[in-house]
């Protein structure tokens, strides 16, 4: 049975595997000290147009979030995030495990609102008993969000301005960054993100790599002895080459962007297919995750024939489901899915 | 310049890469729910002759140690280990980061002594103020140790007996397990280890995999909701297939043992080569790590020509260095090294 | 200037100080092993009509909450509480510091709703990806709540039933327990609370003691080695007598209840006084904390003459303030306050 | 039965209780904002001759250690201490609970050696793999030590110089500071300690207070938002007056020093009494804790008649016991003890 369950159902882009094979027996130093890591870092800095950036590779997203949040916060500080933010909702308490509270703000299609953020921060700093509360020490956003939505350039600038006003860093979780940047709805570039965010990560796991995320500190603000912190979190790969070679490949000749664009094109076809057949969308996502509302009968019928994710109950009669495309989605799979929709009666 | 620096200088065994390629576009569920993980687990259980074992895959060794120790201990408990144990000496405080103390015992060529362990535990339980101390909640050993040495069967039985007497689990760090089991000096089998230890891990990263360790709970003693704990530690791989396929390959047709045996044979040649040329050994290691004592001149000369690890200062005139072989070491590299030794004057 | 700022503005009830003086030079064992602690525990068990209860003394409320929550939860679990619960809002992240998330539910005048709790727990357990979320491991309520309100007997029974259904403990923060129990609006007794809750604490700091809270485990459910856990939290008093003597005094001849009743009588006079003068109440509190709505002019005028707490902004023109009575409030202070209100024009 | 078991067997000095009584009904702000706390802080700063010092009050010693160590260290750092240091040996892992390793150095009668400290730090900073180790982030010493011994002025200067050289703070645990300063063997003053240490605490619990320790930051080095950190540790007393009034009393007219001097005089009599009767001392302690070696028969006989602490086994035939004097010890108790020794046969 074919699957739109997620964007990590396949292995890695073939060029990555090819590169792993070619370099396999080269003897390299461990822990990210190899020349592939160095090369990948240089390419990422160039792609970000941020020569002063500091780039690190970590295996997975939750690990990256726990590591970055913990390293950037002081002990009495928490991280501000949308209620639906990954750090708040789907990381098994990994942030709290490091001792920090997630300070949840309301979400609007998965996004926080700059105005609400500012009010929250203002109220905190005006509160006379704030020493009995958790200090907001950084702001976490995801791009695209957990609902596939995107911050517009103006929105991101406003959030960044609030962060600067209150002197706390802005952190962007880019687990699916490529799928955001390549969306026709996006009006932000990687370079602008590097300018507006204090730290962000470029997701590899969901965009063509076997595993791996590239953390980018953009403001000469890497926490001291970051390598020791990575090791302390159990997140330091002995064979750092595995991450370096993958990102070096992804950032050679624009592969990362090219495969992201493909996923977005596939998502466009899928979205159009559902829309033209009269399906209701839970919200309007411009990226690779599409949230469709199905009734019980549709759900039961469809899930026998294709794999997708049950997202949440909408009401007693309807369920929100997610179809995700990825770098690996083939156009014929979309056609096959549409055939299924047409066959449904 | 060729290298004996460590056992993770190369990528992965070619059969692993081949398997990754072959399975690459297969759509699989994430988080270790795929059939390769299931198959690998079955093979490992069979290899351990422990049908009731519960097997989990984690990316790296420090991560595994922090995860297992934290999951098996209650909050007020610590883990007993040799002073030189990896958890005590070389994990950037990853264990303490989880809130637990490492209770260091004396080491004897990297090993703890069953008698000393028993005395330590007895004294603790006889101490009237023990509630003001850290409770010894588990015992950590490594096999081979950080010095390449091995516990004999009798030694392991004695340590296991002490653990049973005091009702605390015995945990074995098998980062290099294959290199221990395949040593001619080993009188322990994988099956015996599975019987004597409550939990242990089979190291992949240093034995032919790109990354990955297989944690084996042998006594129906998996901590509840272990998946959530892995996720909370940031250690849950989205593409669990990466670990499953690697271990499935390593445990097909005895590959894990075959490549370990090769590394040990290479280590034997290397050891013999140093010995026959009159070099002093820091201690007698029967596994893939060999610790040689060099004087300043030897050190300076040799390190221009081959890569190895500086281990520790022996005295003002001598340094202990480590040469490690691995699954990837070629016999001609040993010969080349010996040629270097012969050329030294 | 006299004060209704809080219920911890004075020292201790005079009988407590008298007892401290009388026993001062008696040589006693430390860490709560003295006979005053034992005696106090017996009296509390009797007052709770719970002979099997296990009672412990800790110095303060936040400390107690962090200790109890951490000791009752497994690492991957969080504590469910009202958004306005003290553990969520006013403890500087002390719960998260122990590694646990506070899972916030909506509040209704400071209370959680049994139905909403049940729905939340049901949804969690029906969620297929719950291993990626924080497990609800216990329920925290406060009695009275942070807004002075009280759970009715029926409400507490329903919450307790939900907890039993989902097999998680119910924990009551009784920082102001006496002021709850002695309210004419209360239909719950201490004995019923001991029956319905798995663990709760009887607040001393705000009810006549210099410091101290009595934690009561009611179901043979004390976490193992609780003394070591207290010590590990830095919460073990060397001179445990300080807590034992205070609670022994408070639970001799019903002093705890008598002084609580006094505070409630004073609160009644205060409430009636404000009401009869036409002041608006933020909500209807039946206990020692009264929340009054003042306009800017009233606020400015009044705060020059008497001390009270600014609670929160109600709207652009009004502020919610808190007047608290306590065991130490004198009736003449109420009269003086009413005089002030009458003098205001 | 009378007791030399510890220095916290009695309540508080009578002047403290008197002061608590006199001020009892004064309405004061909570959380240490009252004028007694302010006054006490001023007196302590004056006593330290350190006008720029920043003073905070916390209830107990372990709490203080966990708080200060955690607040001064970065996440990847540990605290260096003697193997027998209280933080390493007798705090139930409270330091590790905050996520930090205690880096144990050898002890010499309870003290660390400046030379060994320097070598340890030098080796750490020369180690190429130090990022895989725990960074030494501060040095902990106790004065007097857990064995009653004292650092000489020269020794403390040397340790402080090493700390300055490696740019890490020196922290002194002064749980029994008064008993150290008032020893005839002491050649250090409080002012010198304030100059040499970056942070230290003046113990109240063991020197005449019911509870309480005064933390002194001497170098404009208070961790940011220290109040929030105290609250987060559960260590913020609502009735801060309890600590303020006690320390205000102890630092009025030199009471702290006067009662410490008394304890030391009593210890001198006790020591002389044992010595003149031929008893063996485990080590030569110049402060209020005296460690005596008893054989089985002596031990069995004596412990029927007077309370003291069993410290540790010396050999199969002998036990080390501790007799402690305090501010509350009466000379007649010493005489009574000597009478017991004389009666033994």
Q: What are phi and psi of A149, to 5 degrees?
A: -85, 165
Q: How far is C138 from chain B (nearest CA, A)?
A: 16
User: Quick one: which of C252, C254, C203 has its CA closest to C57?
Assistant: C203
Q: A54 falls in which pLDDT band (50, 70, 90)?
A: very high
Q: How far is B338 from chain A (nearest CA, A)?
A: 19
Mean pLDDT rounded to a whole number for chain B:
97
Decide if A75 and D227 are in contact by the 8 Å CB cutoff.
no
Average pLDDT for residues D167-176, to the nearest whole number?
Answer: 98
From chain B, the residues in CB contact with C224 under 8 A are 74
Q: pTM above the 0.90 mark? A: yes
Decide if D93 and B100 are in contact by the 8 Å CB cutoff.
yes
Instruction: Identify which of D71, D135, D229 has the shortest CB distance to residue A225.
Output: D135
Asked if C275 reaches chain A (Cβ–Cβ under 8 Å), the answer is: no
Average pLDDT for residues C195-220, to the nearest whole number?
Answer: 98
Which helix (H) or strand (E) segment is A139 a member of? strand A135-142
Instruction: Identify which of D23, D60, D92 has the shortest CB distance to residue C238.
Output: D60
Contact C91, C66 (CB under 8 A): yes
Decide if A231 and D135 are in contact by the 8 Å CB cutoff.
no
Asked if C101 reaches chain A (Cβ–Cβ under 8 Å), the answer is: yes
From CA A62, how far away is CA A58, in angstroms rounded?
10
Going from the C-alpha of A257 to that of each of A44, A180, A181, A190, C19, the distances in angstroms are 12, 10, 8, 10, 76
Asked if D317 reaches chain A (Cβ–Cβ under 8 Å), the answer is: no
Decide if C101 and A104 are in contact by the 8 Å CB cutoff.
no
Decide if D135 and A99 are in contact by the 8 Å CB cutoff.
no
* Closest D-chain CA to C211: D239
From chain D, the residues in CB contact with A133 under 8 A are 228
- pLDDT tens readout for residues B145-177: 999 999 999 999 999 999 999 999 999 999 999
Instruction: Identify which of A131, A228, A231 has the shortest CB distance to residue D228.
Output: A131
Decide if B29 and A5 are in contact by the 8 Å CB cutoff.
yes
Mutate to test the interface with D, among A29, A99, A131, A223 (most CBs of D within 10 A): A131
Q: What angle do CA C201, C207, C212 make, to 5 degrees?
A: 50
From CA C65, how far away is CA B250, in angstroms rounded?
49
Decide if A228 and D99 are in contact by the 8 Å CB cutoff.
no
- pLDDT tens readout for residues B277-322: 999 999 999 999 999 999 999 999 999 999 999 999 999 999 999 9
Contact B240, B34 (CB under 8 A): yes
Which of B 10-29 lie inside 8 A of A, CB atoms?
A: 10-12, 14, 17, 20-21, 23-29
Average pLDDT for residues A159-184, to the nearest whole number?
Answer: 98
Mutate to test the interface with B, among A27, A102, A229 (most CBs of B within 10 A): A27
Q: Which chains touch A (3 or more CB pairs under 8 A)?
A: B, C, D
Mutate to test the interface with A, among C69, C85, C93, C102 (most CBs of A within 10 A): C93
Query: How big is chain C, counted in residues?
Result: 345
From chain C, the residues in CB contact with A102 under 8 A are 101
Q: What does the pLDDT read at residue B139?
A: 98
Residue B332 CB burial class (10 angstroms; 0-12, 13-18, ≥19): exposed
Decide if pLDDT at C20 tops 90.
yes
Q: How far is C45 from chain A (nearest CA, A)?
A: 33
From CA C97, how far away is CA C37, in angstroms rounded?
29
Mean pLDDT rounded to a whole number for chain C:
97
* Residue whose pair of structure tokens reads 């700063």 in the numeric block: D45
DSSP string across A6-30: -S-SS---HHHHHHHHHTTT----S
- pLDDT tens readout for residues A78-114: 999 999 999 999 999 999 999 999 999 999 999 999 9
Contact A230, B94 (CB under 8 A): no
Q: What does the pLDDT read at residue A316?
A: 92
User: Quick one: which of D135, D90, D103 has its CA closest to D312?
Assistant: D90
* Residue whose pair of structure tokens reads 């009494």 in the numeric block: D273
Decide if A225 and D131 are in contact by the 8 Å CB cutoff.
yes
Decide if C99 and A102 are in contact by the 8 Å CB cutoff.
no
Q: Could you list the beta-strand ranges (E) of chain B.
A: 54-58, 77-82, 102-105, 135-142, 170-174, 199-203, 213-217, 280-281, 289-295, 309-315, 318-324
Q: What does the pLDDT read at residue A345?
A: 78
Residue D61 CB burial class (10 angstroms; 0-12, 13-18, ≥19): buried
Residue B216 CB burial class (10 angstroms; 0-12, 13-18, ≥19): buried
Q: What does the pLDDT read at residue C345?
A: 78
User: Quick one: which of D270, D173, D180 has its CA closest to D214?
Assistant: D173
In three-state secondary structure terms, D58 is: strand
Q: B254 falls in which pLDDT band (50, 70, 90)?
A: very high
From CA A6, how far away is CA A328, in angstroms rounded?
11
Decide if pLDDT at B73 tops 90.
yes
Quote the ipTM score.
Answer: 0.97
From CA D241, how far away is CA D235, in angstroms rounded?
14
Q: C1 falls in which pLDDT band (50, 70, 90)?
A: confident
Q: How far is B92 from chain D (nearest CA, A)?
A: 4
Q: B345 falls in which pLDDT band (50, 70, 90)?
A: confident
Asked if B33 reaches chain C (Cβ–Cβ under 8 Å), the answer is: no
Instruction: Identify which of C90, C96, C133 has the shortest CB distance to residue A132.
Output: C90
Q: How far is A132 from chain D (nearest CA, A)?
A: 6
Q: What does the pLDDT read at residue B125?
A: 97
Q: D1 falls in which pLDDT band (50, 70, 90)?
A: confident
From chain C, the residues in CB contact with D66 under 8 A are 234
- pLDDT tens readout for residues B124-137: 999 999 999 999 99
Instruction: Identify which of B76, B227, B229 has the shortest CB distance to residue C75.
Output: B229
Instruction: Identify which of C99, C135, C232 has the shortest CB distance to residue B228.
Output: C135
Contact D210, C239 (CB under 8 A): yes
DSSP string across B237-265: -TTTHHHHHHHHHHTSTTHHHHHHHHHHH
Average pLDDT for residues D4-24, to the nearest whole number?
Answer: 98
Average pLDDT for residues B28-33, to the nearest whole number?
Answer: 97
Which helix (H) or strand (E) segment is B180 a member of? helix B177-181
Q: C142 falls in which pLDDT band (50, 70, 90)?
A: very high
Q: How far is B208 from chain A (nearest CA, A)?
A: 11
Contact C239, C30 (CB under 8 A): yes
Decide if pLDDT at C192 tops 90.
yes
Contact B97, A232 (CB under 8 A): yes
Q: What are phi and psi of D151, to 5 degrees?
A: -75, 135
* Closest C-chain CA to D306: C27
Going from the C-alpha of B237 to that of each of A147, B230, B245, D185, the distances in angstroms are 21, 9, 13, 61
Average pLDDT for residues C220-242, to the nearest whole number?
Answer: 98
- pLDDT tens readout for residues D29-57: 999 999 999 999 999 999 999 999 999 99
Contact B249, B19 (CB under 8 A): yes
- Encoded tokens for D240: 């801060």
- Interface size A-B, in CB pairs within 8 Å, comes to 157
Q: What does the pLDDT read at residue B1?
A: 78
Asked if B344 reaches chain D (Cβ–Cβ under 8 Å), the answer is: no
Percent share of chain C, pLDDT over 90 = 98
Which of C 55-84 lie inside 8 A of A, CB atoms?
A: 75-76, 78
Q: What angle do CA C36, C37, C38 make, to 5 degrees?
A: 90
Q: What does the pLDDT read at residue D345?
A: 79
């Amino acid at each position: 049975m074919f699957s739109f369950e997620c964007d990590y159902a396949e292995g890695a882009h073939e060029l990555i595997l090819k590169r792993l094979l070619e370099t396999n027996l080269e003897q390299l130093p461990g822990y990210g000290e190899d020349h592939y890591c160095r090369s990948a870092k240089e390419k990422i800095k160039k792609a970000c147009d941020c020569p002063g950036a500091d780039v690190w590779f970590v295996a997975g997203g939750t690990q990256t979030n726990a590591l970055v949040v913990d390293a950037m916060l002081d002990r009495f500080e928490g991280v501000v995030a949308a209620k639906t933010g990954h750090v708040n909702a789907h990381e098994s308490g990994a942030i709290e495990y490091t001792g920090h509270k997630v300070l949840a703000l309301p979400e609007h299609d998965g996004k926080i609102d700059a105005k609400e953020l500012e009010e929250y921060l203002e109220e905190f700093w005006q509160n006379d008993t704030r020493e009995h509360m958790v200090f907001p020490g950084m702001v976490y956003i995801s791009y695209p969000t957990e609902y596939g939505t995107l911050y517009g350039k103006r929105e991101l600038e406003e959030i960044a301005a609030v962060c600067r006003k209150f002197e706390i860093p802005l952190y962007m979780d880019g687990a699916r960054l490529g799928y955001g940047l390549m969306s026709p709805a996006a009006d932000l570039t990687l370079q602008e993100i590097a300018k507006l965010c204090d730290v962000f990560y470029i997701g590899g796991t969901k965009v063509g790599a076997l595993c791996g995320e590239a953390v980018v500190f953009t403001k000469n603000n890497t926490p001291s002895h970051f390598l020791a912190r990575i090791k302390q979190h159990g997140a330091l790969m002995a064979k750092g080459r595995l991450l370096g070679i993958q990102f070096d490949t992804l950032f050679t000749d624009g592969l990362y962007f090219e495969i992201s664009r493909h996923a977005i094109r596939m998502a466009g076809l899928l979205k159009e297919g559902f829309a033209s057949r009269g399906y209701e969308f839970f919200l309007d996502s411009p990226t690779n995750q599409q949230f469709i509302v199905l009734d019980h009968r549709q759900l039961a019928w469809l899930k026998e024939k294709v794999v997708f994710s049950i997202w949440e109950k909408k009401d007693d009669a309807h369920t929100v489901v997610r179809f995700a495309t990825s770098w690996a989605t083939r156009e014929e799979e979309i056609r096959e899915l549409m055939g299924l929709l047409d066959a449904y009666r």
